[in-house]
Amino acid sequence: MTDARQPRIDLAELRAALVDRLEQLAEELLGLRNKARCRRSQWRWGANGSVSLEVGGTKRGGWWSHEAGEGGGPIELVAFARRCNFDSAVEWAARWAGVVPVTDADRARDHAQDELRQAERERQRRQREAEAAQDEAQRIASARRIWARTVPILGTPGERYLIAARGIPAPPRGWPACVGWLPAHSVTVKQEGPNGDEVRRAYPCVGAVVLAATLSDGSVTAVQRVYVAPDGGNVRRDSGHKIKLTLGCPAGAAARLPAASAGGPVLVAEGPETALSAWSVTGYATVVALGGIGNLHPRAGRQIVVCRDDDRPGSPADLALNRALAEWRQGGIDASVAQPWAERRGDKSDLNDTLRQAGAHAVRAQIAAAMQPLDAPRSPRRRSDHRVPAADPRRKETLAACFRLLRAQIPSDTLLARLHAQNADRTEPLPAELVNDLALWAASRPMRSAAHVG
């Protein structure tokens, strides 16, 4: 019977020590290797290389004797080479590697210390969770206090900012309940000082447009404030960046703009101006993700159209959006992307820029294009279906209207040149791909006459 008080060798520690000095151990036990039979990750001994030892990769330390038909790890190699039993091999290997035996008392002490360390880690984890929960509750309470101080935005400098500075049409049914106005005379923000240190800087303002993000039960958990300058534009830092502040816990929450009627997709945007631009000209239900698209968890069953900013491909914002879309689609979400322009620019513009530069029809066109399935079958048409007789007086008017519309939407010299080629004196049909493109814009903005286009 083995004495429980007898010192024992930690076999895992011993194997690790032997593997660390594997090459030295092998040559001491087996002599010089047969270099002609060796490979970079495997050494061999014997005239025909009958004993092999793995010295590289994940199998390092494993060996096999083809003559003896046995193998194992480094301790078994000691027993094989010295022709001794396992216990004797352990004793010899421990002396050779300098591994000190441990007693049961040592193990008991180590186990007790491990339990103390584990208990301390668990205590610290609970403390961090409690502090995080308290901080989250305080941030949510601050957000709710700000929202409680807001007034309806109708008739305020905030409404004038949205309409005049951002070009957002006044909604006939009124502004959403989640949009408010916070009167203020100044806003103080932290920023980097001239010496690289953090300083507080106050900027004059007339107030802030506030969006309230709520959970599914309607409780406010976060707000975002867009500060308005006395001249009606954005308040900007010395760096030129707009002052837009988010407070609270936006994860899982969103500002919700109601649909004008049932049906249609759900639009998703990050910025208040982008969301209000898309919502006001389409009437679709719109969700504003104040903390980033990735914080939303939409449900399957309704098409989602993400109104993205035109971020540079490969930028952190672009990669984050792609990750969120991939997760949604893996979860069965029908998600597509509406871009500000038909061709990517990478200039961080958004659908509010589209609205101001190209009009409401352009925003509707980009969203309509995103709603089209990529693999939707095209109905077959005869070539004559695209033909407009030269004698028809509507031909020149229609082509001029389409040209102005596309010039506002797709600044492509190649495409415009192809449209120019379809002059009023020719009877060739429009190319099918151009007809398909025109159908998207026509569907999003009725063209009763040329006077209504452009």
Number of helices (H), then strands (E), in the chain: 13, 16
Distance CA 223, CA 246 (A): 6
Distance CA 148, CA 142 (A): 10
Contacts of 147 by beta carbon, 8 Å cutoff, 6+ apart? 180, 210, 212, 220, 223
Cβ–Cβ < 8 Å for 107, 9: no
Average predicted confidence (pLDDT) for the chain: 83
Pairing outcome for strands 335-338 and 285-288 = unpaired
pLDDT at 27: 92
Distance CA 366, CA 86 (A): 75
For 158-186, write each residue's pLDDT tens digit: 999 999 999 999 999 999 999 999 999 99
What are 236's strand-pairing partners?
242
Distance CA 60, CA 35 (A): 18
426: left (phi over 0), alpha (psi -120 to 50) or beta: beta
What is the DSSP secondary-structure string of 117-162? HHHHHHHHHHHHHHHHHHHHHHHHHHHHHHHHT-EE-TTSHHHHII
Percentage with pLDDT > 90 across the chain: 59
For 364-423, write each residue's pLDDT tens digit: 999 999 988 654 444 444 443 444 444 555 455 555 555 555 555 544 444 444 444 444
Distance CA 439, CA 281 (A): 19
> How many Cα atoms sit within 13 Å of 326 on the Cβ side?
6
Give the CA radius of gyration of the chain. Answer: 36
Domain ranges in the chain?
A: 11-97, 141-190+200-249, 254-376, 383-452
Contacts of 250 by beta carbon, 8 Å cutoff, 6+ apart? 213, 221, 222, 289, 290, 291, 292, 295
- 150 or 47, which is more confident: 150
Q: Residue 367, Cβ neighbours under 10 Å: how many? A: 24
Instruction: Give every strand in the sheet of 42-45, ordered side by side.
Output: 42-45, 51-54, 63-65, 70-72
Pairing outcome for strands 335-338 and 304-307 = parallel
Distance CA 346, CA 317 (A): 11
The enclosing H or E element of 328 equals helix 316-330
Distance CA 209, CA 235 (A): 12
Cβ–Cβ < 8 Å for 228, 234: yes
For 432-443, write each residue's pLDDT tens digit: 455 555 545 444
CATH architecture classification, 11-97: Alpha-Beta Complex (3.90)
Distance CA 99, CA 35 (A): 31
Least confident of 62-66, 342-346, 388-392, 443-447: 443-447
pLDDT at 4: 45
pLDDT at 148: 97
Cβ–Cβ < 8 Å for 80, 67: no
Mean pLDDT of 101-116: 81
> How many Cα atoms sit within 13 Å of 384 on the Cβ side?
0
Distance CA 245, CA 288 (A): 15
Which CATH number among 3.40.640.10, 3.40.1360.10, 3.60.9.10, 3.40.462.10 corresponds to the domain 254-376?
3.40.1360.10
